[in-house]
């Protein structure tokens, strides 16, 4: 940062839009992420690794940190008078914080995504999307991603970063713990349209559709194969870490619906995993589809709905969508 003006997240938001309430909300989310980052960093010291005997609404094991991160999120949002409703991966129903008024905000969040990585000390993250109440009394939280005001994630990796899609642009901020601030370090992130890197859980290959099998076989066939180039493969099993890598150096992420998970719609959740990441991908010049339609155009049917996700470099996403057709 030597020689460059230092821009904090708060100053950046104030400059980018004229709704002080949205700025206050993003600040509150960033402050929750900062607290979650601290809790994650100290988890082994505080005896917060391992699992609980509890399950979330989807029947998945809850880790102590899933619960602590969720509490932190609600604590921070409870201080924002303009937050009308919150939908969290860890809570069965949408929680109404107040009677909704036109202009209030609704939030969808996965407070700690990729938590199966915690005991191995690998990167995890927080994902969020911000919608807005259209009219006084309107309790519609399940809306398409096109109506969002902003979306983002925090990644708790070697450094803690806060990545925000707002006004059709994606910017990355790094937590400076000495200055108690998120600082703009990665302005105007763009996903390169072309890539030779893909990300998929290959252990599910036996259950894949032909479209996915053909795509992956094409990638691993190398110079002599139909793609005539060598592909690299990476899978972190932490969506935030995988998407962050794609934002910084390109690539394509696939968590398709397959023979095993299709009855549920796929694995990843539409409202607080697929939609926010799709908004980030599109704002960074990439694309996101469920194989049939852009994820941002999908009408949600339920708060914890699951969906197939393919996102990243636009040329690969359209190739995979062509395979589905």
Please say which residue, 81 or 92, places its beta carbon nearer to ligand AHM.
92
Specify the 3-state DSSP secondary structure of 107.
Answer: strand
User: Is residue 110 close enough to count as binding Mg ion by CB under 5 A?
Assistant: yes
Question: What is Dmax (Cα atoms) for the chain?
Answer: 62
User: Is residue 242 close enough to count as binding Mg ion by CB under 5 A?
Assistant: no
Smallest distance from ligand AHM to CB 26, Å: 22
Phi-psi region of 253 (alpha: psi -120 to 50; beta: other; left: phi over 0): beta
Residue in 60, 71, 209, 214 binding ligand AHM, rule: CB under 6 A: 60
Backbone φ and ψ of 95, nearest 5°: -100, 120
Angle at 190 between CA 143 and CA 254, to 5 degrees: 60
201 binds, among Mg ion, ligand AHM, none (CB under 5 to 8 A by kind): ligand AHM
Q: Segment near Mg ion (CB under 5 A), from 7-15, 103-111, 259-267, 310-318?
A: 103-111
Contacting ligand AHM within 187-226 (CB under 6 A):
201
Number of residues in contact with ligand AHM under rule CB under 6 A: 12
User: Is residue 61 close enough to count as binding ligand AHM by CB under 6 A?
Assistant: no
Residue 128 CA to residue 117 CA, distance in Å, equals 19
238 binds, among ligand AHM, Mg ion, none (CB under 5 to 8 A by kind): ligand AHM
Binding mask 99-138 toward ligand AHM (x if CB under 6 A, else -) reads -----------x--xxxx----------------------
Displacement of CA 171 from its chain's centroid (Å): 14
Please say which residue, 117 or 196, places its beta carbon nearer to Mg ion.
117
Which tokens hold the place of 166? 């707002």
User: What are the angstrom distances between the C-alpha of 182 and each of 19, 33, 54, 172, 185?
Assistant: 20, 11, 34, 9, 9
Compute the radius of gyration of the chain from its Cα atoms.
19
> Where is 315: in which H helix or E strand?
helix 314-324
Which tokens hold the place of 186? 């990665």
Smallest distance from ligand AHM to CB 296, Å: 19
Smallest distance from ligand AHM to CB 171, Å: 22
Specify the 3-state DSSP secondary structure of 152.
Answer: strand
Check residue 94 and report its DSSP letter.
P
115 binds, among Mg ion, ligand AHM, none (CB under 5 to 8 A by kind): ligand AHM
Contacting ligand AHM within 223-262 (CB under 6 A):
237-239, 255
Give contact residues for ligand AHM (rule: CB under 6 A).
Answer: 60, 89, 110, 113-116, 201, 237-239, 255
Sequence ranges of the binding site: 89, 110, 112-116, 201, 267, 273
């Amino acid at each position: 940062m030597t020689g460059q003006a230092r821009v904090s997240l708060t100053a950046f938001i104030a400059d980018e839009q004229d709704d002080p309430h949205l700025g206050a909300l993003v600040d509150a989310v960033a402050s929750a992420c900062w607290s979650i980052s601290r809790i994650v960093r100290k988890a082994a010291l505080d005896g917060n690794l391992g699992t609980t005997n509890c399950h979330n609404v989807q029947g998945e094991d809850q880790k102590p940190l899933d619960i602590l991160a969720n509490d932190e999120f609600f604590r921070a949002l409870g201080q924002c008078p303009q937050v009308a409703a919150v939908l969290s991966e860890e809570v069965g129903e949408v929680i109404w914080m107040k009677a909704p008024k036109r202009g209030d905000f609704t939030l969808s969040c996965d407070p700690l995504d990729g938590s199966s990585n915690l005991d191995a000390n690998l990167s995890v993250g927080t994902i969020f999307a911000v919608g807005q109440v259209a009219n006084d009394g309107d309790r519609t939280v399940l809306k398409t991603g096109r109506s969002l005001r902003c979306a983002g994630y925090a990644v708790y990796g070697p450094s803690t970063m806060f990545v925000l899609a707002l006004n059709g642009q994606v910017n990355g901020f790094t937590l400076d713990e000495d200055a108690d601030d998120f600082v703009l370090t990665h302005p105007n992130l763009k996903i390169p349209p072309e890539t030779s890197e893909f990300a998929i859980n290959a252990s599910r290959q036996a259950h894949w559709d032909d479209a996915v099998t053909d795509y992956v076989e094409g990638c691993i066939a190398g110079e002599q194969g139909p793609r005539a180039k060598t592909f690299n493969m990476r899978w972190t099993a932490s969506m935030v870490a995988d998407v962050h890598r794609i934002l910084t150096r390109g690539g394509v992420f696939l968590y398709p619906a397959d023979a095993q998970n299709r009855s549920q719609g796929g694995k990843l959740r539409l409202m607080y995993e697929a939609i926010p990441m799709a908004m980030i991908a599109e704002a960074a010049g990439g694309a996101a589809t469920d194989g049939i339609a852009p994820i941002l155009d999908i009408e949600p049917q339920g708060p914890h709905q699951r969906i197939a996700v393919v996102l990243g470099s636009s040329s690969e996403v359209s190739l995979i969508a062509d395979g589905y057709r």
